[in-house]
Structure 1
């Protein structure tokens, strides 16, 4: 039975907007893209000596199991030239499963809901844009509630009006 999964997408190397758009296009292999947020320019978190990120969130209706969806996300990152190395470092593509329906998954290499999504404005702003009532099942809070409660001073600026359905 299909599930709506929310995928966070980011890039800060090369043509960042094109990388995000290509990642969204490739996500269609994992399921039907239902909604896409606008693109946002955001300051890097963790390692600051790098370019700003472009971030977005896509809602995907998928039949993929969570671990299969994670493999699809990693394959997209690899196809777009991601080099794994420095944690929170520069990357051509970064795809994270934020939510997978109302499921909670805790297994090696995969935690859903994403363990840091509730602390990141660059995740919550685009998520609230397309799904303000999406619930984090561990916290029993909607995306809109989490954003309202967040104390994150990082700058997040809309740079593209891509919101809506594909």
Structure 2
């Protein structure tokens, strides 16, 4: 008798952004098309946020972005998830030639279940790294949860649409609490579209 074990699925939170057109069309169209490719790759999307217009980050970094977030399930490891996201970005013309530059598509893995990777000490170092250093340095390993998520309205506002009660495993705060701690002026720059 063969025993079939249930497939273990992980919950992933992904932030999406684009401020340049791709072969699919405008940034808004590109985000929708990328979600279809994500499903084709094997992810099960549970919730999709509305789309938001946000100023480029850092300031002056190009046209405004369209941002969104999804909560999904997959049977990938964190590294496999990142590989899938990078593959989809590449499919839509993403070039990784400048950190925080203009993009046809940006898919950021924000969280993979409640994992803290690679370890709490490294996560703390990246979370507390000064902005000037972050702009010129890339980690050589996957950092989860995303080390700057708590600082970014363009991530937290859409994420509140799909996972408001998800709790940061290091900070102990929910997505809603992290969003509500941001300055009002910063939150007002994130505007729903459509």
Superposition TM-score, scaled by structure 1 size: 0.91
Aligned residue in 1 for 2:32? 21
Aligned residue in 2 for 1:164? none
Give the number of equivalent residue pairs. 160
Larger radius of gyration: 2
Structure 1 unaligned blocks of 5 or more: 161-166
Distance (Å, rounded) in 2 between the aligned partners of 1:49 and 1:63: 35
- Confirm or deny: 8 A CA contact 2:18 2:65 kept in the other structure: yes
Aligned-pair CA distance for 1:47: 5.0
Aligned residue in 1 for 2:13? 6
- Confirm or deny: 8 A CA contact 2:61 2:102 kept in the other structure: no
CA offset digits 1:39-89 (Å, max 9, x no partner): 000001115141000000011111100000000000000000011122211
Higher helix proportion (structure 1 or 2): 2
Higher strand proportion (structure 1 or 2): 1
Structure 2 unaligned blocks of 5 or more: 1-7, 120-139
Q: Choose the corresponding residue for 1:62, options 50, 74, 78.
A: 74
What SS does the aligned partner of 2:72 have? strand
Residue correspondence of structure 1 range 4-153 to structure 2 within 5 A: 4-14=11-21, 15-28=26-39, 29-106=41-118, 108-151=140-183, 153=185
Aligned-pair CA distance for 1:27: 1.3
Distance (Å, rounded) in 1 between the aligned partners of 2:92 and 2:183: 33
Distance (Å, rounded) in 2 between the aligned partners of 1:135 and 1:99: 10
Distance (Å, rounded) in 2 between the aligned partners of 1:105 and 1:79: 27
Superposition TM-score, scaled by structure 2 size: 0.79
Compute the RMSD of aligned alpha carbons. 1.4
